[in-house]
Structure 1
Amino acid sequence: MNRSLLLGAAALLATGTASLAADMPYPVKAEPVAVFVPAFSWTGLYLGGNAGYAWGESKATDVLFFDSTGGVYTPEAGLYAGNDLNFGNMDGWVAGGQIGYNYQFENNVVVGVEADFQWTGAEESIAFYATPGGPYYQTSAELEWFGTVRARLGYAFDRLLVYGTGGFAYGKVSSSTTVMGLTGGGAPDFTTAASGSHDNVNTGWTVGGGLEYAITDNWILRGEYLYVDLGEANVTSYLAGTSGSFVSAKADLTSNIVRAAISYKF
């Protein structure tokens, strides 16, 4: 009888164990843990360099030549357009650096401020007869360097920033003039040449826009266009070797600039 009881208990235990095993869930593979990648932010200080090309024009108005005897000569209509000179195709390279700071709002609007400084090779020269009897002018103008301080406003599409910009501009404009009389045959007489030069730092304004793309969290590429107007300045070039002789004019300069830039955002 005891043997029968033992066999019954063993059968009952085996049945319960099998039922419990059938009720246990099969092992399930764990879901992968999501890794949070924060969106790129344009907020921060940046510093970089740039290079490009500039083209524009410089105009000189009210051009007057005063000789040592007090005589005054002005370019005549038909030989030149009144007494105004236009240096067309004043173009050349530009290169420099920039520093700025951006702040990005939650709605992806980006505001900032930037300052830059550029060296340039933009220059042009012209030559003309003031009157049929002279004098003969050779004159040139050059934008040696310029800088800007600008506000920026843009919208960020993650790593792409589209922006407009505008503000204050300043630059050094250099001019040189050589004046000479004519030979008996009406050609320029270089033995009578007298030259002078004038440097002036002009101020004005600038406006433009561009695109920036963050290729990494720190390195940013840019393409940009700026229009720079350096306003008008009085220019007086005293002619060396001819006491009391000088050329006077009012000069202004405008320039279009396209450039590429790379910046490091801290």
Structure 2
Amino acid sequence: MSNGLKALLAALTVTTALGTAAHAADLPVRSAPPAPIVAAVPVFTWTGFYVGVNAGYGWNTNDDDVVIPGVGTFEADDEGGFVGGGQIGYNYQIGSFVLGVETDIQYADIGGDNNFGGVLDDDDSDSWFGTVRARVGVAFDRALIYATGGLAYGEVSNGFYTSDDVSVGWTLGAGVEYAFTDNLTAKVEGLYVNLEQDDDDLPVIAGRDETEFGVVRAGLNYKFSSY
């Protein structure tokens, strides 16, 4: 083979190699697509401040037999009635346990208009009470079962007399609450309230010097986000 032919073959080989490399460089690069970025879904928590409103029914649980010396024995015309108001509170969740504090103020149409044969006339249509309570509960995701108790105060008839002074006592209860959204919750709650009346304000009557009543109410809360 002549030197000229060898040079020609070498030139063709180099040209072919360069053309193949250039063609390969023009081909699209095939690689695995990037993994999709999935945002983490926040887990619901009961932790946070909330405000709300409530409404329900209250009834006096006192013994209504009243003995007035020299006059006779009378039975007060106790009646249950509407209870409604607002509340504000804070919850803190630790695992499945929820600790909180709540205060509320309530209008209470409890006791009716009691008139003991004209001897006493007790119109307690302006009755009211409030509470400052601790709440301890167990959360099942968006459902909360809790017990509650603490301080109670207010002006509510004890069945035969309403003091003009604010009475102070205690309250105990329980309830269940459910979060329909991250911010909106609803609850059903029952309370027993005991208020001590000031003996100095009571007439000379052989009756009870405390106010006892029960309350069943439903409430709606707006929970501020804690994320």
TM-score range, shorter chain: 0.7 to 0.9
Structure 1's 248 and 141: CA in aligned 2 closer, same or farther, altered over 3 A? farther
Q: CA deviation at 1:151?
A: 0.8
SS at match of 1:6: helix
Residues 212 and 27 of structure 1, relative CA distance in 2, 3 Å threshold: same
1:180-199 CA-to-partner distances (Å, cap 9, x unmatched) read xxxxxxxxxxxxxxxxx652
Residue 73 (structure 1) aligns with = 71
Structure 2 residue aligned with 1:169:
152
Deviation at 1:63, TM superposition (A): 1.7
Tell me how far apart the structure 2 counterparts of residues 73 and 37 of structure 1 sit (CA, whole Å).
72
Provide the identity percentage: 39
Q: What are the ranges of 5 or more consecutive residues in structure 1 without an aligned counterpart?
A: 66-71, 129-134, 178-196, 238-246
Using structure 1 for the length normalisation, give the TM-score.
Answer: 0.65
Q: How does 1:98-177 map to 2 (within 5 A)?
A: 98-105=87-94, 107-124=95-112, 142=124, 144-174=127-157
Number of residue pairs matched? 215
Aligned-pair CA distance for 1:101: 1.8
Residue pairs, 1:1-266, within 5 angstroms: 1=5, 2-13=7-18, 26-60=30-64, 63-65=67-69, 72-75=70-73, 85=75, 90-105=79-94, 107-124=95-112, 142=124, 144-174=127-157, 198-199=162-163, 201-231=166-196, 234=199, 236-237=202-203, 248-251=205-208, 252-266=210-224
Deviation at 1:91, TM superposition (A): 0.7
Relative to its length, the structure with more strand (as a share) is: 1
1:14-47 CA deviation, whole Å, 9 max, x = no partner? 667789999x973322221020232233222222
RMSD (Å), alpha carbons: 3.5
Unaligned runs of 5+ in 2: none
Amino acid in the other structure paired with 1:9? V
| Residue 111 of structure 1, CA deviation | 0.8
TM-fit CA distance, 1:104: 1.7
What TM-score, normalized to structure 2? 0.74
Asked if the contact 2:48/2:90 (under 8 Å) is kept, the reply is yes
CA distance 1:43–1:249, change in 2 (3 Å):
same
Give the residue type in structure 1 aligned to 2:163: D
Aligned partner letter, 2:41: V
* In structure 2, distance between residues paired with 1:199 and 1:97: 24
Q: 1:164 to 1:225 in 2, by over 3 A?
A: same
Query: Which residue identity is paired with 2:100?
Result: G
Question: Given that residues 220 and 263 in structure 1 are in contact (C-alpha distance below 8 angstroms), is that contact kept between their aligned partners in structure 2?
Answer: yes
* 2:50 maps to amino acid: Y
